[in-house]
Structure formats: structure tokens, C-alpha cells
Structure 1
Amino acid sequence: MAGKSPLVVVGDALLDRDLTGHADRLAPDAPVPVVADCAERVRPGGAALAAWLAARDGRDVTLITGLDDGPAARELRRLLEPWLELIPLPMSGALPEKTRILAQGRPVARLDRGGGRVREATAAARAALAAGPAVLVSDYGRGAAHALREELRRRPPVVWDPHPRGGPPTPGTRLVTPARSEARGFAAGLTGDRPAPGTPGAPPDEATGRRSDLRTVTEEAAALVRHWRVGAVTVTLGARGALLSYGEHPLLVPATADHHGDACGAGDRFAATAAGLLADGALVGEAVEGAVTAASAFVGAGGAGALAGPAHPSGTSHPSRTAHGAGASAHTSGAPHPPGPPAPGDDPAAVIARVRAAGGTVVAAGGCFDLLHAGHVGLLQAARRIGDCLVVCVNSDASVRRRKGEGRPVNPLADRVRVLRALACVDAVAVFDEDTPERLLAELRPDVWVKGGDYAAAELPEAALLQEWGGQAVLLPYLDGRSSTALMARAAEGAR
């Protein structure tokens, strides 16, 4: 597809197989479900899935991965070769296979076989890596990235999708994309303070409580940026989206929709989308936003298990010359169901008390909101999706006048509060008369304080205050070109 940059994917391929049927009884000889009438679907997995998805987006893709001569590798070649250029690396052992058994669309068992590992790099692989304009590493710990480690050091990848069994990303990588459990394990390995995932005493994902979890993720991501010496780390948070850190205050990109479908393959969809956008010249924040949107759509459409059959539309041709990109997709595993929403227009203290009693997360956002516009609404909607209630802290008329000058606000406080309370995403509104909301925040003690992404890290003075009670200040993406001042200027110009 015109306009999309080529991508080289380096990593460990798998062959994924789903056996999908229905279960309505237990076996007579053991308390296990009997899955009947199974239909089989085979697809690329691991690095092969990331490369295949990028190719289906209409991108010219080269995949460098380990392949043997066994039946699983032959099947994987059949799936991939119509879509992309394949450069095999020699393996010891058989290509890994992952078989899921699903009943009523839900996994009940998984079978793994094939322990093959890449033995060494080849001249063809080195040449392809040197010639490629952008590189995605999908490291499942089977040796492909390790075999090309020196080449990757000389030209750092745009995206590195890590795995607990793999090695660390090469310094200089623009973006590393661990899942929540992976980030926790990597960070624990730096300090030894917390048990790694899956070890005795380790808290399960999403079960540690949202109130402290966001701050913990922020600290872990910042530590990984520094330790790995990479440009940025984005931690994918399942249905909550992704947290992007450059080592300072994070940007939290909420998921565009809350899907609780099959999340298998969502991480590969996220990494492939982010790498493609970076290859096309997007900023890191833009790439993460696009990847979150793609991953959410992917899960909503049924995940990897719902992918279309392997045949390329043309039957034979390379997709960069003939195919139309497959639709977007997504990253995210399920998050706990939040407590019921508070009644709109309630007293802020009462709203917060009810949400905290139910173990929920309190989110706050602030501003003048003089002329409510699409940028405000988008920010508030995204903020509400972070937690279980949203309290908006709004400047009084006197506070707005001191900040904006005479003639402001255009709308008096009562009108501004009424409009904010009418938004479905706003649970309560609190007013402050000072120039900044610090006193009000100290009273409300929210778990998360949100600012629009057009604020620089130096412009988050509330961050230190939030840390006093374990809260976290975050940036959210902000719609460009929307502001009350710009609206007033356009209106004045129109009147003239």
C-alpha cells in the first residue's frame, strides 16, 4: 500500500493452532470437560503473527526467524509466504507449536510442543537487517534476537517486544512494549524487592488494587527506561490501555473501548502497529495511541482466534503490491469490573466515599472549562475510563479572571458547573478559588490526577503532592487545536 514504510521483523516464530468446539458434559473417567465437534484453525504465532499482521496492513515486510524442515515449519511457510519475504535461520530442534482447546469460545487447555532454538545468524539475515529502514524485534526467547544481537546494537530497533525468557532490548531502542506482568518481572529483577510474576508471594495481575497499581507501573516503567537506556517504555494494561514513560511523568493512553474478548495475539497486534507507525514517521506518543486503538479493535473482533484464513486475496502475489491492509486491531487483557457508577451531580466527598468503600479508583481532572469544547470532552471521557469515578476541579470566576484576564470567564461558574455535571463521564464537580487546585486536591486525595497531554513534564506541580498519599499524576492525549481562547478568537473574527 502506497505511503507505508517497509518493516523488518526479527524474532521467534510459532505455529498456533486452535481447536474450537462445545462442551456440555464431563468425561466419565475424570472431572474434565468433553470438547466435541472441534473445528481446527491454524495461524502464525509469535514474531510470525506480528509480521503477518503488519503485512496485512499493506506493509512490505521481511521476517527473519528460525525455521526447521519439519511439518510445523512447512505449514508456517505456507501461511506466510504469500504475504511477506521470509529469511529462515537454522534451528536445533523443531519449531514450537502452541495448541489451544476452546469450548464455547473460551480456552480450557493448552498444549505446547517443539523446543527448537536458533543456532546462528546467516549472511542473508544480516544483509536484510542492514538494508531494512525500520526493525521490530519480537523476542520470545528462542534465540533469533540473540543471534543478531551485535547487528541490532549497531542499528537499534524502533520497537522491541520483550518476553521473560528473552534478553533485554538493545540500548537506543525507541520503544519497548512489555505487558503489565512482564514489566513487573523485569523491574523486580532490577531491585529484587518484589517477587517476579508466577513465583510464590507474587500478586496476580490486576489484583493488586488500582489505587496503588498505576503509581507502581509508573515507577517500574521509568526504572526500565533508565536501566535499559531506551527512548521509551510503554506498559500495556489490558482493558485500561497503555502507559507510556520516557522516564518522567507518564502519558496514559486509555483504550477506546472496553472489550472482554479473546486477547490472544493482542500484544503482537500492538507491537506491529506501533512499529509500523514509527516507521512511517509518527511520534512515539502517536504510535502508542494508534497501537492502543488497533489492539482494542483486535480484541473486540475476537482476537487471533477470529483472524481470516491464510490465503492472500490474490492467491499468489506479495501483499505490498496487491493486498489491501486488513482492519485495525488491539492490545489488552481484561480488567476487574468496576463498582457501579455513582449518581451524577453528587457531592464530591460523598461520591469519593462510596467509590472508596467499594474498592474503586478515584480520578480527578481540573481546568477553567470556560467554553466547553471537543478537547475538554475527549479528555474527560478518557479520564473517566481510568477509574471508577471522575471529579472535575473547576476554577471559580475570580480564579479564572486572575489567570485569563478581564472579560473572562465568558460563562459564569454556575453555568460551567451545570454543563460539566450534564456530561455522562463526570460524577461530581468541585470548585476552588485559588490559582491552583493543590488545596482542593489535598482534601479530595484522588488516586489519579489527570492533565491534558499538551502539558510538559515541568508543568505538573501537582505530581509531588499526589505522591504524599500514594496517588499518581498522569498525562492523557489531548485533541490538538482545541481551546477556549481559539474559539473566542474565531467567534470575534466571525462577528467582524
Structure 2
Amino acid sequence: MNRGPIVVVGDLLLDEDIEGTADRLAPDAPAPVVDVTCVRRRAGGAGLAARLVAELAARPGDEVVLVAALGTDADGAAARRALGDRVRVVPLPLHGTLPVKTRVLAGGRPLVRLDRGGGRPGAATAAAEAVLRSARAVLVSDYGRGTADALRPVLAAVARRVPVVWDPHPRGGPPVPGTRLATPNAGEAAAFTAPPHPASVLSAGPGSAPGHGPGSPPVSGQGSPPATPLRAHADRGTALAERWGAAQVVVTLGAEGALLTRAGSGAPLLVPAPRVTGGDPCGAGDCFAAAVTVALGEGALPEEAVERAVAEAAAFVAAGGASAVGEPADDDASPRAPAAPRGSGGPAPGDALSGDASSGDASSGDASSGDAFALARRTRARGGTVVATGGCFDLLHAGHVGLLERAGRIGDCLIVCVNSDASVARLKGPGRPLTPLADRMRVLDALGSVDAVVAFDEDTPERLLDRLRPDVWVKGGDYTADGLPETAALRRWGGQTVVLPYLDGRSTSSLAHRAARAAAAGSPDR
């Protein structure tokens, strides 16, 4: 493997936090008086991304290089010191002064931000071009101040050889063609895909209705129902991958995780984020981009890299965000939080009751307690998101449990659709299922992530989904969801199919084979 440096290209800033307490107002204005307790200065923008890459790199000896415009003034010297010993700087000329962002915080909460400075980078240097050509992975941390544009030709050449991750900015240029992964957040993706009409641009935002960009379905009243926010994010990511010529685009969704999309695919991979209470989200996007870049530089697949990055970003927020970078560890830092209670659209206690094969609607072949359909209606009526997933679930294992836990975090209720015994026998062959339907449904219903269970007798759950009409249909990562009949069904009512990462090495078949081998090994006939 190429053990060249991981190179971060982008706009270096100096971040300053003035922290204190505020328990009174100024006598001459209705403004809080902050009694300053400490002042912290750290590298921001691409500098923060470079620091995080250095902390996340797998080997202490891995070289991390920052290519950024940097002057020789006091602020530039402070930013260079804040980068620490792990980051080598290859400077570009800076025409003007280094941008400085100052936050004033009281009790840990920001009161105001002050911005000053703001020079422009000069032309690319031979040293910068040389270090980029030697890189094993590149992160472009674009803050819209021109550094990425100054190096665009060499970045385009590098993207043909090594992974390039591009963290874009609305004021910056587009990623170069061949970018391995672009990482806009939800608001940026909406802005990038918004039409040029001023009114439309102002109305676009995270979760806004479709029709705000290329590749989006028609808005309500034009022959298609309104899209769920998740579908809007997926459409925007797909449209951006096509427009930019990027291999994949991951739309980061904050506390909801990240959605990995690619051109020509309507079934993205969704990686839910662990629940975090408290913390500071400042810099979470930089942490995500840094973690993705490190993982790709180690040879990880994009799906693996995104999963690692979501976990790292959540831990980063819980630990205090950007303000904790380079600071001494706090023994009282917030631990990783447990899963939060289900949303307001979810079921009340007692809503989800398991059923058996003889209950439910006999005419449709669906077996359930009768609550699944009512639960879906109630959740939609409250404005909640109905999530469904399905499968045989014969010998429930850790892969199933992990998938269901993640699916349950996507929306406000989770309905599991289970193949009947006859359906499993047709799909899996003689001797299956190993566990009868009533038992499979009872075990699934006992899981805290599951709100209702319903069975179907066909080979695929299309007829059942037509009745449930979930907003999101979830499949495990061992499926290619574009070819699933469920994907086409979900599109009919504006739903979205997503793929979740799956726990490798766990399957019902492998468990059954291992059990058979163990039984044979212990047989007295051997």
C-alpha cells in the first residue's frame, strides 16, 4: 500500500473561544456582561480537519500535511502553533490576513461570533503540487476562500489515482471530476441543487420538498405525492453525484447520521448516528470528513469509511466538539449516550403486540395482531415517519438485531414484515424454516427496537407494503436495493428504500451449518 502522506487542502482559519460566565446585563445596554475565565485559540477550517486527521490516523508515524494559505503575521504564527507537531504545513502565499473567528461563550453556550481578517491565497507552488502527487489520500476542506481553486488542476490529476474526499462549501467551486467521496451536509446539498430563482433558493433547506433540484420528483400537485425528507436528501445526493462526476456523495444529516448515494441509484446506504446528549456540534463535519479520508487512505470501502466516520463524529460531539481538540482530557466528559426514547410519532405502551399465523386479515394472507396497520396510520397522523423492514428472520442472530436497532432509529415506529412458513420454504428450500412463524414473530416482537410485526405469504412483501405504505423501507447491506421490487413499490407513494450496513459473518445458514457440524462432531457414531 502507498504509505505517502494524507494531505489536507483547504482554507486555514484561526478559531478563538472566549469563555466565561454571564449573570448580569450591562447598565448601558440590554447585553450580557461576560466575566472571562479563559481564552482558547486553535486551528480552524482546514486546520481543524488536519488536526483530526492526525489524531485519527492508524499509525503514529503516518505523515499528515496541510496545504493552505498562511502568512507570517501573529495570527498566522498562532495558527501554525495550534496545528501541533503532527501536522506539517506546506504554505501557499496569503494576500491579506488570516481569517479569525471569535466565539464568546457563557456557561458553554455561544452568545456571539466575531469575524475579522480574510486574505486570498496566491498561486499554487511547486512544493504544494509535489506533496499532492505523493499523497495516498487527499481531503479538500473547502471554506470558500479560494485555496481549493488555486490547486484545482493538480487535484483533478490526483483524483484519478488516489482517494480524494471533498468537503464542499456553497461559496466554493464544485469537486473535481473523479472525486471518490463528496461530503455536503443537508443544508449544503439543498443549496447546491436549488434552482437559480431567488425565491426557490431562499426556501430550500434540510428536509425541504422535492422539486428544488435536478433529479428530484415533481412536487405535490404535479402527479406525485410529496417526498419524505429522507427521499429528498437521497435525490439531492444522487443529483450531485451526477452533476459533479463524483463516485459517491454522502449527505451528512447531523444527529440522524449520513446517507451515502451514487449516480443512477435510488437506494442509498443510510448509517444512523449513535444517540448523543449534550456536547458541542461545532466541527462535527470536519471530523466526519477527516475520518472518512483516513479510512479510505487505509483501503476501506466507502461504506465502511462512512460507518466509521459517523461513529467518530458522534464521539467527537459528545467529547465537546472542536473546543476540546488539543485540550487536556476531561474526566467528566459526556460518555456515549444510550439510545433516546422513541419520537412523539411512535406507539404508546401496548401498541405493538405479537400475533400468530391464524390472526389478522385472512383474505390477504397477512398475519399480525392487527396493530401494524393502525400503528402506521396513527404515526402518519401525528406527522411521524413509518419505517418497515422485512425478511425470514429464521434463527435470529446478531446481524438481525443490529439491523433492527439501526432501522428503529430512522423514524418513529418500526414494523417488521416476516415471510410465512410457506414463503420461507419456497425461498430457502427443504428443511426451512427452522423456526415456525409464530415463534419468529414472538421473538421479534420482544425486541425493544420493534414496534409491530406482520407476516405475509408471498415471496416478496409488495402487496403488504401497498397496505402499510411505509415512508422508509430498510434492507441489510448484503442487498443491492436498486433491483428490489420493494424499491419500485416505495416510489409509487413517495417512500424511500435505504440500505443499512450489515454485521458481516452472521447468517442463519452459517449458524445452521455450524450447529449441524457441532452435532455431528458430538455424535456417538463418530
Normalising by structure 2, report the TM-score.
Answer: 0.85
The answer on whether the counterparts of 1:266 and 1:295 sit within 8 Å (CA) in structure 2 is: yes
Between the aligned partners of 2:416 and 2:377, the Cα distance in structure 1 is: 16
Equivalent in the alignment of 1:184 = 190
Q: Could you tell me which residue of structure 1 aligns to residue 55 of structure 2? A: 56
Kindly state the Cα deviation for residue 56 of structure 1 after the two structures are TM-superposed.
2.1
Q: Secondary structure at the match of 1:436?
A: coil
Q: How does 1:67-466 map to 2 (within 5 A)?
A: 67-156=70-159, 158-189=164-195, 195-196=200-201, 199=202, 201-203=203-205, 205=206, 212-247=228-263, 248=265, 249-309=267-327, 338-339=343-344, 341-342=346-347, 343=349, 345-346=352-353, 347-466=371-490
Using a 3 Å threshold, how does the CA distance of structure 1 residues 306 and 128 change in structure 2: closer, same or farther?
Answer: same
Partner amino acid, structure 2, of 1:339: S
Moved more, 453-462 or 98-107: 453-462
Secondary structure in structure 1 of the residue aligned to 2:18: strand
Which one-letter code corresponds to 2:320 in the other structure?
A: G
Q: Once the 2 structures are TM-superposed, how far is the Cα of residue 495 of structure 1 from its aligned partner?
A: 0.3
Alignment partners' CA distance in 2, 1:207 and 1:159: 26
Number of residue equivalences: 470
CA–CA separation in structure 1 for the residues paired with 2:31 and 2:115: 19
Distance 1:193 1:388, change over 3 A: farther
Q: Pick closer, same or farther for the CA change 1:281–1:105 going to 2, 3 Å.
A: same
Question: CA distance change for structure 1 residues 241 and 202 in 2, over 3 Å: closer, same or farther?
Answer: same
Q: Deviations over 1:342-363 (max 9, x none)?
A: 1352411232233223211110
Cα separation, 1, equivalents of 2:131 and 2:120: 20
Q: Distance in 1 between matches of 2:440 and 2:199?
A: 46
Q: Separation in 2 of the partners of 1:303 and 1:44?
A: 13
Displacement, 1:103? 1.8
User: Whole-Å Cα distance in 2 between the matches of residues 227 and 448 of structure 1?
Assistant: 26
- Structure 1 contact 174–231 (Cα < 8 Å) conserved: yes
Q: 1:339 to 1:77 in 2, by over 3 A?
A: same
Using the alignment, how far apart are the partners of 2:2 and 2:406 within structure 1? 30
Alignment pair present for 1:29 and 2:34: no
Q: Is the 8 A contact 2:4 2:134 kept in 1?
A: no
Looking at structure 2, the residues matched to 68 and 352 of structure 1 have their Cα atoms a distance apart, in angstroms, of: 59
1-side partners of 2:104 and 2:2: how far apart?
Answer: 40
Q: Describe the SS at the equivalent of 1:172.
A: coil
Partner of 1:477: 501
- 1:354 & 1:260 partners in 2: Cα distance? 31
Whole-angstrom distance in 2 between the partners of 1:25 and 1:41:
23
Which deviates the most, 413-422 or 341-350? 341-350
Question: Once the two structures are superposed, what CA deviation does each residue of 1:436-476 show, in whole Å capped at 9, x if it has no partner?
Answer: 10111111110000000110144422111111111100100
Q: Provide the C-alpha distance between the structure 2 equivalents of 1:271 and 1:381, rounded to a whole number of angstroms.
A: 25
Shift in Å at residue 364 of structure 1? Answer: 0.3
Counterpart CA distance in 2 for 1:55 and 1:489 is: 44
* Distance in 1 separating the partners of 2:73 and 2:328: 19
Aligned residue in 2 for 1:14: 13
1:221 is matched by which residue type in structure 2? G
Whether the 8 Å contact between 1:266 and 1:303 is mirrored in structure 2 is yes
Question: How many Å apart are 1:32 and its aligned residue?
Answer: 2.6
Paired letter, 2:343: P
Instruction: Choose 337-346 or 418-427, whichever is displaced more.
Output: 337-346
**Closer, same or farther in 2 for the Cα pair 1:442/1:475, shift >3 Å?**
same
| Alpha-carbon distance in structure 2 between the residues aligned to 1:387 and 1:357 | 14
Higher relative CO (Cα under 8 Å, sequence separation at least 6) belongs to 1
Task: Tell me the amino acid that sits aligned with residue 63 of structure 2.
Answer: D
Deviations 1:71-94 (CA, angstroms, capped at 9, x unpaired)? 111101112252211111111111
Q: Which SS does the other structure have where 2:113 is aligned?
A: strand
**What is the Cα deviation at residue 206 of structure 1?**
5.4
1:109 match: secondary structure: strand
SS of alignment partner, residue 44 of structure 1: strand
TM-score (norm 1): 0.90
CA distance change for structure 1 residues 166 and 461 in 2, over 3 Å: closer, same or farther? same
- SS of the counterpart of 1:386? coil
Q: Secondary structure at the match of 2:33?
A: strand
Q: CA separation in 2, counterparts of 1:42 and 1:336? A: 37
Contact 2:481 2:487 in 1 (8 A): no
> 1:337 Cα deviation (Å)?
8.7
Cα distance per residue 1:373-431 (max 9 Å; x no partner): 00000000000011111000111111111111222111111111110010000011111
Residues 111-132 of structure 1 show CA distances to partners (whole Å, capped at 9, x for unaligned) of 1111111021111111111222
Amino acid corresponding to residue 104 of structure 1 in structure 2: G
Whole-angstrom distance in 2 between the partners of 1:154 and 1:310? 40
For the aligned residue pairs, the C-alpha RMSD in angstroms reads 2.5
Provide the identity percentage.
Answer: 58
Q: Distance in 2 between matches of 1:398 and 1:337?
A: 34
CA separation of 1:194 and 1:409: change in aligned 2, threshold 3 A? farther
Q: Secondary structure at the match of 1:128?
A: helix
**What CA distance in whole angstroms lies between the structure 2 residues aligned with 1:211 and 1:338?**
20
Q: Which moved more, 1:144-153 or 1:338-347?
A: 338-347
* Cα gap change, 1:491 to 1:53, in 2 (>3 Å): same
